[in-house]
Structure 1
């Protein structure tokens, strides 16, 4: 009987030790650096006279105290698919030489020594001056509302976008393409505002594009966006 009591007591002690030892959750998860909230140069739609440019931005911070590195992406399209420069630096500036007479788009992403990455900064457009150029093409229009690949209520949908041109005094007009086809047909030409209402029905995916035209008739073809309706 005493042996049985001792055995039960030993088993209870083991179970108690196992239960008490299960509270170790390991080290805390590593946090990503904060997003770069401001890119300070070149600013939006800037015409850069010199094609050797010192890119500058505000510092990110890291709650874990990890070292921060910045990735600068420069491309010739607003979606940053056609990348021409992909640089990293531990500073909040970097000097890069680009081709003359080209519209560029850029942003900055912060990442720490553990590989955790922040959300990218806002993507800004700029233009490098070229010899003999007196008129520059408009920048590609940027989507405002509805966000690309979002879902909205069916009915009348207000499409909004943001245009830009580095030529001071140029007035832009817009051609809006809209429909159910992935290459949407022309909906309205010569819009003078940066928004338009369209009619939709539920359960569809709609595609739209905005081309920008300046006073000289120079046109920049926009990118195709989409949204779903419910």
Structure 2
């Protein structure tokens, strides 16, 4: 008959030099009195001793178990590109971040990319679920818009998933097209107005450059006694939205100017 069992278990597959054993077990099961190490791998084997002192080891010498009594969240990670405040020249930029890791045995990590053009708190957002540490949106982002982005790493532990948020939230601005200035219109003198000076001040609205970080570098004014501007005078390099002709550029008495 089987007199007893001896169980060996170790964090080394060769059971050397570190092995824990328990002898004299009289039933075919065993529960360690002291908890095993979290997230560790243990190899185990059993020896049977019969009443005539003959012994046999289990045939399965490479069985192992992995301990995961507590689910640990994925490790901290950083965003990579586009960098904070970057102006990107495409409406479908690739978002890239560091891969997170998980110390829990058997856990795999997926990611959620969060994008918002509203605010950095993501009250309104688009969410993209991916299995790798980068993603390129399939739909174009909005030209000239500011987007905040952040990533969540999520494990698939059977104990219940845990999430790690990227160490920061970054913003980018989209500028795929170099757009012309907008909101430019004439102010005064008004159309067909009669002015009582040869040096009237021409005034117009301040133009706006819709591109991120764009600005109006200068204005050029053209004026002519010909409606088709076949012949005209001009002044370039103006840095303000008004111009007053003077000296040799004075206008002609009783003439009409466009």
Q: TM-score normalised to the size of structure 2?
A: 0.41
Higher RCO (CA < 8 A, seq sep 6+): 1
Look at both structures and tell me which one has the larger radius of gyration over its CA atoms. 2
Higher strand share: 1
Higher helix share: 1
Q: TM-score normalised to the size of structure 1?
A: 0.46
